[in-house]
Structure 1
Amino acid sequence: MDLPRSFTIRESNHRIHNPFTDSKLATLGRAIRLRPGMTMLDLASGSGEMLCTWAREHGVTGTGVDISTAFVDAARARAVELGVDDRVTFVHGDAAAYVAATPVDVAACIGATWIGSGVAGTLDLLERDLHPGGLLLVGEPFWRTDPPDQATVEGCHVSAKEDHHDLPGLVALFGKLGWDLVEMVLADEDSWDRYVAAQWLNVRTWLDANPDDDLAGELRAELDDAPLRYARYQRPYLGWGVFALMRR
């Protein structure tokens, strides 16, 4: 059980595996009013930056679960680096199947709603681990601008326009599912650049060091295409944000 090797190569130097900068992550932690002693579960926790920095800055404790062995190892190392390894735990496993031993104050899935086959299913997964009155965090893409054609849709790595909502549609979906939207922090063009453009350098560095690897041809072709695809399609059309929800 692991992520494809191409994914971990592409994001090998990332601490945050979403279009969020350190400053936006810090803004989110302040916005949701974290307090010392609050407990957290982070499903698809990646390299653990959210849990580790919030443990240091806000005194939370918690568990992260991720399918990637490389990212779980990185998260554990980050916890030691920040001196919070006594407050956070990282588990290698299927986030969709993980159930917390006790309910938590904050349950999160940031940028991986595929674990629940979409937003609705992921909110259900998160709610089963949540204290009544607790807070859910979900990270999800949305259309910033209506995509004009199928080439734009596919340029944003989806097969159909309906795979994403626009921002009003996403907010309406939360309400339809019985959740109050109580905070949100959205990506901007700079945070998208820092996420996506950093992948290109990771791939190029890996290609230089591994020219004869079985994946070299695939990743070389990806690097030939990715920057233009991003500049033409993803950057102008695709938004992303983290949304804080409470059950009505």
Structure 2
Amino acid sequence: MDLPRSFVIREGDLRILNPIDAGKLATLGRAVKLRQGTSILDLCSGRGELLCTWARDHGVVGTGVDISTAFTAAARERAAALGVADRVRFVHGDAATFVPEEPVDVAACVGATWIGGGVPGTIELLARSLRAGGMLLVGEPYWRLDPPDGETVAACHAESKEQFRDLPGLVGLFGECGWDLVEMVLADQDSWDRYAAAHWLNLRRWLDENPDDELADELRRELTEDPLRHVRYQREYLGWGVFALLRR
């Protein structure tokens, strides 16, 4: 059970594996008013930056679950480096099936709603681990602009236009699922650029060092095509945000 090696190569040494930067992640932690001892479950926790920095800055405790062995190992190293390894733990496993022994105050899935087949299913997955009155954090793309054709949809890594909603539609979907939106932190075009462009540099450096690797041709094509795809489509049409929800 693991992610393909190309994911690890692409992300390189990035600590946040989505388009919000460290400042926005810190803003989110302040905005949802985290308190000392708040318990958090982070499904698809990546390199653990959310849990590790919030444990350092707010005194939270929690568990992160991720399918990637490399990311899980990096999360544990980050926790040790920040001196919070006694407050947070990271589990290598299937986030879609993980349920903690005790309900948590905050259940998060920031940018991986595929584990539940979309937003409604992921909300259900998170809710089963949440204490009464607890908060969900859901990270999800949305259409900034209406995509005019299938080429735009595909360039934004969507299987169909209906896979994502626009921002009002996404907020409405939360309500349809029975949850109130109480906070949100949205990526902007600059944070999208920082995330996307970091991939290009990671890919280029890896290609320079591994020209004969079996993945070289595939990742060379990605590096050739992705910058234009990003500036022409993704940064214009696709938004991304983290949304804090409380059950109605």
**TM-score tier after normalising by the smaller chain length:** over 0.9
Aligned twin of 1:240: 240
**Residue 194 of structure 1: how far off its partner (Å):** 1.0
CA distance in structure 2 between the aligned counterparts of 1:119 and 1:60, rounded to whole angstroms: 25
CA distance in structure 2 between the aligned counterparts of 1:49 and 1:233, rounded to whole angstroms: 28
CA distance in structure 2 between the aligned counterparts of 1:120 and 1:29, rounded to whole angstroms: 23
Aligned twin of 1:228: 228
CA distance in structure 2 between the aligned counterparts of 1:28 and 1:159, rounded to whole angstroms: 29
Give 2:175's aligned amino acid.
G
Superposition map of 1:100-115 within 5 A: 100-115=100-115
For residues 206-245 of structure 1, give each alpha carbon's deviation from its aligned partner in whole angstroms, at most 9, with x where no partner exists.
0011111000000001101000000000000000000000
**Residue 158 of structure 1: how far off its partner (Å):** 1.2
Percent sequence identity over aligned pairs? 71
Structure 2: runs of 5+ lacking an equivalent? none
CA distance in structure 2 between the aligned counterparts of 1:57 and 1:157, rounded to whole angstroms: 34
Look up the SS of the partner of 2:158 in the other structure: coil
**Residue 83 of structure 1: how far off its partner (Å):** 0.3
Instruction: Note if 1:90 corresponds to 2:95.
Output: no
Aligned twin of 2:81: 81
**Residue 112 of structure 1: how far off its partner (Å):** 0.1
**TM-score, normalisation: structure 2:** 0.99
CA distance in structure 2 between the aligned counterparts of 1:128 and 1:12, rounded to whole angstroms: 33
Aligned twin of 2:10: 10
Look up the SS of the partner of 1:36 in the other structure: coil
CA distance in structure 2 between the aligned counterparts of 1:204 and 1:7, rounded to whole angstroms: 14
Instruction: Note if 1:174 corresponds to 2:174.
Output: yes
CA distance in structure 1 between the aligned counterparts of 2:43 and 2:247, rounded to whole angstroms: 19
Look up the SS of the partner of 1:96 in the other structure: coil
CA distance in structure 2 between the aligned counterparts of 1:11 and 1:162, rounded to whole angstroms: 27
Give 1:88's aligned amino acid.
V
4+ aligned runs moved over 4 Å, structure 1: none
Aligned twin of 1:143: 143
Give 1:208's aligned amino acid.
D
CA distance in structure 2 between the aligned counterparts of 1:180 and 1:222, rounded to whole angstroms: 39
Superposition map of 1:119-158 within 5 A: 119-158=119-158
Give 2:17's aligned amino acid.
H
CA distance in structure 1 between the aligned counterparts of 2:129 and 2:176, rounded to whole angstroms: 21
Superposition map of 1:192-211 within 5 A: 192-211=192-211
**Residue 201 of structure 1: how far off its partner (Å):** 0.4
Aligned twin of 1:116: 116
CA distance in structure 1 between the aligned counterparts of 2:184 and 2:60, rounded to whole angstroms: 20
Aligned twin of 1:64: 64
